[in-house]
Amino acid sequence: MSLLEIACLVTCAGLSLAGAAVAFIVLTEGRYLGKSLVRWLYDRLAGALAASEDTARWDAFLRAVPIASQERMLDVGTAAGHLPLAVAGKPGFQGHVVGLDWSLPLIQRAQQQVRDQGLAGHTAFLVADARDPLPFALAPFDTVFCLGVLDALPQPEERLADLARLTRPGGRLVLSLSRRIRLADRDYAWFRRHLATLGFRSVERHGWTRLYDLVTARR
């Protein structure tokens, strides 16, 4: 279950005004109240997010986005590392997946989970703010994931260009597209236009969850 889904559940359950306030802050991702408050909330929710692994969601993801056994991958906004865990836990996986998030408590949870599951050799995690250029040399990754994050970032064209920079020629970019909540004008047409400008081809949309579709593109 994603943070977005948790926030929606809390609000829908009508548990409290505080629940609605959390949902508002998370859904608007600091647009009105500042990014420090959003990061602080993610830090506080780290335990709940780590415990909320939804195997069916990641099974559906891996059906929509098949992973080769040797791939080098980056997951931007990895939260408690559920995607790296799903990928590295695939039988026969020999590649490497790096999870990046701006929340230290979430990254610590991710590190604990990969250690517990004996997957630390195929994963690495780091704390970084995706609002800034990401700390990697040119195009080191076969696949770059950015799920449930891009909507929240200012200057999305620049952020998309930075994700493109990290994708090797011939590699893939995998993004999420919100189906229900559109806080900005980032619809499928927006992705197609900007990905084409960045030299991506084969832009495709795939169903994923009730809340998100996936957009995949090859560089």
Which residues lie near ligand SAM (CB under 6 A)?
Answer: 2-4, 42, 77-79, 82, 101-103, 106, 129-131, 147-149, 152-153
Taking the complex as a whole, the smallest distance from the CB of residue 153 to ligand SAM amounts, in Å, to 6
Taking the complex as a whole, the smallest distance from the CB of residue 43 to ligand SAM amounts, in Å, to 8
Q: Measured from the CB atom, is 47 or 193 closer to ligand SAM?
A: 47
Taking the complex as a whole, the smallest distance from the CB of residue 169 to ligand SAM amounts, in Å, to 25
Q: Measured from the CB atom, is 1 or 94 closer to ligand SAM?
A: 1
How far lies 192's CA from each of 62, 146, 187, 214, in Å?
A: 22, 16, 9, 12
Q: Which uninterrupted H or E stretch holds 74?
A: strand 72-76
Q: Measured from the CB atom, is 129 or 213 closer to ligand SAM?
A: 129
Residue at token pair 């989970």: 113
* 51 burial type by CB count under 10 A (0-12 exposed, 13-18 middle, 19+ buried): exposed
Taking the complex as a whole, the smallest distance from the CB of residue 103 to ligand SAM amounts, in Å, to 4
User: Considering only CA atoms, which of 128, 162, 142, 119 is closest in space to residue 65?
Assistant: 142
